[in-house]
Amino acid sequence: MSGARLIHIELDDTGLPPPTPQIDQERKVALFDLMEDNSFALPGRDGRAAPDGPYRLSLSIRDKRLVFDLSTEAGEPAAEFHLSLSPFRQVVKDYWQICESYFDAVKKLPPSQIEAIDMARRGIHNEGARVLQERLEGKAEIDIDTARRLFTLVCVLHFGG
């Protein structure tokens, strides 16, 4: 199997309120799906090759920045990068608003209306994944499915509960 992947993900949710059941479920599904299948590679920088994967990721928010702290399988530091949360704020807000609508709809609306809300939710989710891929350009190479799942974790950290 390729070393261009994540083998462990830790979310540092220190200081965040306990997640709601829906947010906790979103987090569990994203983490499970990421461990089943992901693509994550560190490009070389400044003429140096990046440490070989697979990688362990600690994802957190510090000083209003999204922090990716990566280490090798053996625990050696591989890379750390900090991303501004500003480009994510609106899409994260939109994502949670549509998720609220979806969670409510599942309880009381017919399947056709639930499907329409879910399509909108997927569209916003894809937009968040694209923003994440753009922000990681030159720092990490990820495919769209990995970006979608990581975006879910960004949302979980950003809104906490």
pLDDT in tens, 10-36: 999 888 888 888 888 889 999 999 999
Residue 17 within any structural domain of the chain: yes
Question: What CA–CA distance (Å, rounded) separates 134 from 136?
Answer: 5
Q: Is residue 11 part of a domain?
A: yes
Tell me the pLDDT tens digit for each residue of 121-151.
Answer: 999 999 999 999 999 999 999 999 999 999 9
Mean pLDDT, residues 81-101 taken together: 92
Q: pTM (2 decimals)?
A: 0.91
Residue 41 in domain = yes
| Edge-to-edge strand ranges of the sheet holding 65-72 | 6-12, 55-62, 65-72, 77-84
Tell me, yes or no, whether 1 lies in a domain.
Answer: no
Q: Which residue range is the domain that position 57 belongs to? A: 6-159
Over range 48-68, report the average pLDDT: 92
Domain count, the chain: 1
Sign, CA torsion 72/38/151/99: negative
**H-helix or E-strand spanning residue 57:** strand 55-62
